[in-house]
Amino acid sequence: MASTATTLKGQPLDKAALESMLRRRMFYTPSFEIYGGVSGLYDYGPPGCSLQANIVDAWRKHFILEEDMLEVDCSVLTPHEVLKTSGHVDKFADWMCKDPKNGEILRADHFVEDVLELRLRGDKEARGLKIEEKEEDAKKKKKKTKGQEAVKLEDAVVQEYEEILAQIDNYNGQQLGDLIIKHDLKNPATGTSIGPSSNLPGYLRPETAQGQFLNFAKLLEFNTGSMPFASASIGKSYRNEISPRAGLLRVREFLMAEIEHYVDPEGHKKHHRFHEVEDIELVLLDRDTQLSGKTTVKKVAIGQAVKSGLVDNETLGYFLARIHLFLKKIGVDQSKIRFRQHMANEMAHYACDCWDAELLTSTGWVECVGCADRSAYDLTVHAKKTGAPLIVRERLDEPRVIEEWDVEIEKKKFGPFYKKDGKTIESAILTTSQEQRGVLAKEMEANGKVVVDVPGVKDGKVEVSKDLLAIKWIKRTENTREYTPNVIEPSFGIGRILYSLIEHNYWTRGSDGGDEARSVLSFPPSIAPTKVLIVPLSSNKDFAPFTRKLSQKLRAAGLSSRIDDSSATIGKRYSRNDELGTPFGITIDFQTLKDNTVTLRERDSTRQVRASEDEIIAAIKSLVEGNKTWQDTETELPIFEGQELEIR
């Protein structure tokens, strides 16, 4: 589902230029590159590392601190038994297909997706339409295009392909196999040799969630037993991507931030702060739309979406809105976000509803945040496996009177009567439902005996007489209530968000009538890797003490800065920092030495104001904390012109 990518200013995105800039500025770089690299592994250089830290910091404030979540840091190494119980060992078995020619093994869904996209590409070319840029380096692109002639398809075929792609995540293995045969799909990637690589050991966690679940009982106790509450964790997780590609979007090692919100399943999972977010409008792509082969979205207030049943419950809806607010805060382009509901086959079997926050990038819509209602699944399976009581015990305000059918077995006679089958028959009786017991009670009253279904014993039917079994309607009083909480899980892929954020905030001065070669990353000041660039006018020794002092003052004010006292022109130095996304620049000139004033430059407009050092620092602090806009600053401090004419 690729689409024509645009910059922040709406111009076509030159992916090659962006990637070259990211490499040059060391946002990230392939790991172990001097050893030839390992696919799917990346190192973050200083600006990437700082950007990542700022996103994580914003996340911690927006979620953990805002809602008093319990943050934990759990082991990455995980025993096989834990992941077997959680279902990961089985779940992570993807449907694969094998190229009979070269024996290459490929993920079946990726294979179908690749071939159909390629054919649609060939069709567009044949029709003389503009072809969207895909995430591939020039070399690969060439090879890939080579594999496909420009062949026009019938309109009906184009539509069928597009419908398949819209629901590609909803096919099971058999269906993928059928598609491959029906459409005669063949491996075009003769040049690429991305085969399955050495497996990751099973005991590197695939998500931070399991560590949180295993600590549920302790966390509940730490929270003095009160519900609802949430735990949260930020840490690395690992997946054995068969064919890592697409840069930071599909990697083997990645930073996750996950919340597990534990909620009482009774009472429709209300959330006490839902009213704060109910009017927030989200762009939704629902399950039914996708199943009909379309990708039409609708904008709906979350309150309405929950009311109509489109989003399953308030707690899930609350987090969808909070996720939206978070992504907006860190600088996601509001025209490039949608929430896509999972289709039935796509969703884990235990989940009752799941939505992904997807961001539009040059590789299409990318799943960046998942928000699932995992029901009681995880806590239940771990409790069952280990015997640990992963439940909530609540004292009831008023004792609860329960009336129900009870079965009583006359043990002394029962065992000797049925001998070796006794246990099996007893177990079959004890697991009968209330409804079945009602029927059996009537039967017993009428006949003095009942016939019970016991698979595996005799012909599957066993007679039990009333001297061996009593079935009574009883009344009992409960003072406490026990339940397994349900879990709502917002789960963030930090690397994917980081990459999307870069694309969303990238543009070139060309779109403003300036130099097309000058790139800018317009991160919001709070997220920008460095807040201030300090630029002495020249390498004159007199500037050094002032530069040092200013850098110390900024540090004391909690503002990160870097000094560029290289011999490059002011314009070149600012240009370099536009590429790093540094929102503010301070120039120190000869006037500064006389009257302690400096100029402050804003990255996006390249406009400047001039005032005393302390006024400028205060202005930057307000701008970074989001209390003021650049417009405010221009009205409060004198505009400065000159000096930087060369920049645009």
Positions that interact with a copy of itself (CB under 8 A): 25-26, 29, 31-35, 38, 41-46, 48-50, 52-53, 65-66, 68, 70-79, 81-82, 200-201, 211, 214-215, 217-219, 221-222, 224, 235-236, 238, 252-253, 382, 385-386, 388, 390, 555, 560, 562-564, 566
For β-strands 584-588 and 532-536, DSSP reports them as parallel
**Which residues in 163-252 belong to E strands, given as ranges?**
229-238
| Cβ contacts of 477 within 8 Å, gap of 6 or more | 399, 400, 401, 402
| Cβ proximity of 375 and 369 under 8 Å | no
For β-strands 229-238 and 561-563, DSSP reports them as unpaired
How far apart are the C-alpha atoms of 364 and 386, rounded to whole Å?
43
CA torsion sign, 487 to 492 to 493 to 494? negative
Nearest-approach distance from CB 561 to a copy of itself, in angstroms: 9
Cβ closest to a copy of itself, residue 373 vs residue 564: 564
Nearest-approach distance from CB 62 to a copy of itself, in angstroms: 12
How far apart are the C-alpha atoms of 636 and 633, rounded to whole Å?
5
**Which residues in 522-617 belong to E strands, given as ranges?**
532-536, 561-563, 584-588, 597-602, 608-612
Check residue 49 and give left, alpha or beta (phi > 0: left; psi -120 to 50: alpha): alpha
The owner of tokens 């339940």 is 483
CA dihedral 128, 130, 133, 137 (to 10 degrees): 40
Nearest-approach distance from CB 70 to a copy of itself, in angstroms: 4
How far apart are the C-alpha atoms of 492 and 574, rounded to whole Å?
33
How far apart are the C-alpha atoms of 443 and 450, rounded to whole Å?
6
Nearest-approach distance from CB 436 to a copy of itself, in angstroms: 34
Tally of CB atoms within 10 A around 184? 7
How far apart are the C-alpha atoms of 182 and 241, rounded to whole Å?
27
Cβ closest to a copy of itself, residue 253 vs residue 353: 253
DSSP 61: I
Q: Is 569 helix (H, G, I), strand (E, B) or coil?
A: coil
Cβ closest to a copy of itself, residue 365 vs residue 492: 492
Nearest-approach distance from CB 343 to a copy of itself, in angstroms: 33
Cβ closest to a copy of itself, residue 364 vs residue 585: 585
Nearest-approach distance from CB 234 to a copy of itself, in angstroms: 9
Cβ closest to a copy of itself, residue 57 vs residue 453: 57
Nearest-approach distance from CB 391 to a copy of itself, in angstroms: 13
Nearest-approach distance from CB 236 to a copy of itself, in angstroms: 6
Cα 186 off chain centre by: 32
Cβ closest to a copy of itself, residue 182 vs residue 385: 385
Cβ closest to a copy of itself, residue 77 vs residue 401: 77
Cβ closest to a copy of itself, residue 290 vs residue 484: 484
Q: CB-side exposure of 391: number of CA atoms within 13 Å?
A: 14
Phi, psi of 366 (to 5 degrees): -115, 125
Cβ closest to a copy of itself, residue 51 vs residue 316: 51
How far apart are the C-alpha atoms of 193 and 251, rounded to whole Å?
17
Question: Which residue type is seen at 197?
Answer: S
Nearest-approach distance from CB 587 to a copy of itself, in angstroms: 18
Cβ closest to a copy of itself, residue 86 vs residue 145: 86
How far apart are the C-alpha atoms of 515 and 512, rounded to whole Å?
8
Cβ closest to a copy of itself, residue 70 vs residue 359: 70
Nearest-approach distance from CB 233 to a copy of itself, in angstroms: 8
Of the candidates 372, 391, 343, 616, the one whose C-alpha atom is nearest the C-alpha of residue 488 is 372
How far apart are the C-alpha atoms of 177 and 106, rounded to whole Å?
13
Check residue 77 and give left, alpha or beta (phi > 0: left; psi -120 to 50: alpha): beta
Nearest-approach distance from CB 582 to a copy of itself, in angstroms: 14
Cβ closest to a copy of itself, residue 191 vs residue 201: 201
Nearest-approach distance from CB 214 to a copy of itself, in angstroms: 6
